[in-house]
Amino acid sequence: MWRNQFIVDEEIKVQLSRLESKKKELDAHRPLPSFIVEKIKANLALEWTYNSNAIEGNTITLRETQLILEEGVTVKGKSLREHFETFNHHKAISYLYKLADATEPVRGIDILKLHEIVLNNIEEHYAGRIRTGNVRINGANFTPPTASKVSELFDDLVEWMQTNPEGLDMISLATLFHHRFVWIHPFFDGNGRTVRLAMNLLLLRNGYPPAIILRADRKKYYEALNQANNGQYKKLQLLMIQAVERTLNIYLSALPGSTYEYSTITSIVEEERLPYGQEYLSLLARQGKIDAYKEGNVWYTSKEAVESYIIGRKRKRKV
């Protein structure tokens, strides 16, 4: 069984509080103008499809993903499977948003349906079905449970997610669900794509925008999951918080009269007289200690976020 050493320490609590404040601000503007919502959802679905597939080894680029989905183009040199993975994931997102409007808790049947869509025309025999054989994962520091235990573990996980017996906040619940799902590894194929959809169904049901794990963070993502297998969740917590905050920032920046202005860390260092250099600010961003988000390999933050961190440091020194 997984090691349950999930701790929300003070550093994580500060970041969760920042997320909650941003969510409240976004909620205060609901219902959002439909043209804003549809544009953001379309852009997010495109990059979500690209990043989730790329994490699993799909070689279709972001631009090629757009051409496939918006213009029906077949990309030369890319396999039929990679094309189906692109179509399927995008279709699964559309289904996910329909599920997000429901009022009942996330059900096991919903997750199975998402998996079925993900593997449509790829692994039809396994699509939407719990695995019936044992598996091993290359590069992982654990062996998933035997097939005879998977169905019960999957049902227990869904019930745990529905009841949330520890009373976790939604970000922490989604983070822990994500790890436990990967540990169970309920399917022969498509586990990664499915869990990154299912955890977002949980977030969407609770008013958060989707958390998109970026391809650029692939190595860090797998390292975080391996650390979680040893009961060390902080790296995965930080990755999840950063992913949620990034999409919250996208929504907030699109609101009429928005004051959310983000620039690259490089440009802020060049334009402002700061006591910190680019490398240190990038480290603070990776650790979640300043309000920041990532696009590709580039970190974005704001002058206000850096100033807030400086003020906080000065206060600590006076105490």
In a domain? residue 1: no
Q: Which pLDDT score, from 0 to 100, does residue 53 have?
A: 98
In a domain? residue 4: no
> For 299-314, what is the mean pLDDT?
80
> For 15-23, what is the mean pLDDT?
93
Give the count of domains, the chain.
2
Active site residues: 185
Q: Tens digits of per-residue pLDDT, 209-234?
A: 999 999 999 999 999 999 999 999 99
* Higher-scoring residue by pLDDT: 61, 270: 61
Residue numbers of the domain that contains 43: 10-254
Which tokens is 243 given? 């992913």
Same domain, 160 and 226: yes
pTM assigned to the model: 0.87
Question: 319 pLDDT exceeds 60?
Answer: no
Residue count (the chain): 319
Phi, psi (degrees; rounded to nearest 5) at 293: -145, 165
Q: How far is CA 316 from CA 143, 285, 312, in A?
A: 44, 19, 6
Task: Quote the mean pLDDT of the chain.
Answer: 91
For residue 31, whether the previous peptide bond is cis, meaning omega lies within 30 degrees of 0, is yes
Show which of 217, 235, 254 is a domain's final residue. 254
Same domain, 157 and 290: no
Same domain, 206 and 293: no
Query: Quick one: what percent of the chain has pLDDT higher than 90?
Result: 68
Q: Tens digits of per-residue pLDDT, 172-194?
A: 999 999 999 999 999 999 999 99
Residue matched to tokens 């399917």: 187
CATH code at 207?
Answer: 1.10.3290.10
Which tokens is 275 given? 């006591």
Show which of 254, 272, 289 is a domain's final residue. 254
> How far is it, in rounded angstroms, from Cα 169 to Cα 241?
12
- Of 142, 134, 107, 131, the closest CA to residue 222 belongs to 142
The answer to whether 220 touches 239, Cβ cutoff 8 Å, is: yes
